Amino acid sequence: MRATLLTFALLAGLSACNKQAEPEPSKQELRQEQEAAPLIQQNHQPVGARAMAASPIATAVSKPSPNHRKQVLTNSEAQAPETISEQESAPPKIVIIIDDLGYDLEGSKKLAQLLYPLTLAIIPNSPHAQRAAELAIEAGHELILHIPMEPLNTDKWEDGLNTSMDKTSFDAALKQLLEQHPWVVGVNNHGGSKLTADRERMDWLMQSLADKELFFIDSRTNAASQAANAALAAGLPHSERDVFIDHEISAEAIGQAFVRLRKIARQHGQAIAIGHPHDLTLNALRNELPALEKEGFELHYASEALNINRKQSPELALGTAKTQSLAKPLANPASKPR
**Cβ-count burial of 252 within 10 angstroms (0-12 exposed, 13-18 middle, 19+ buried)?**
exposed
**pLDDT score, position 154:** 72
3-class DSSP assignment, residue 101? strand
In this prediction, residues 292-301 reach a mean pLDDT of: 97
Which of 51-65, 132-146, 168-182, 293-307 shows the lowest per-residue confidence on average (mean pLDDT)?
A: 51-65
pTM of the model: 0.68
Would you call 238 helix, strand, or coil by DSSP? strand
Give the three-state DSSP class for 120.
strand
Q: Residue 101 corresponds to which amino acid?
A: L
* Residue 75 confidence (pLDDT): 34
Task: Identify the sign of the CA torsion 245, 250, 256, 262.
Answer: positive
pLDDT higher at 158 or 266: 266
Is residue 99 classed as helix, strand or coil in its secondary structure? strand
Predicted confidence (pLDDT) at residue 111 exceeds the cutoff of 80: yes
Residue 157's pLDDT is 79
pLDDT higher than 60, residue 59 = no
With contact defined as beta carbons under 8 Å apart, do 216 and 192 qualify? no
pLDDT at 309 (0 to 100): 55
Instruction: Check residue 331 and give its pLDDT.
Output: 32
Helix (H, G, I), strand (E, B) or coil at 330: coil
CA angle 136, 190, 229 (to 5 degrees): 110
The pLDDT value given to residue 90: 87
**By percentage, how much of the chain surpasses pLDDT 70?**
64
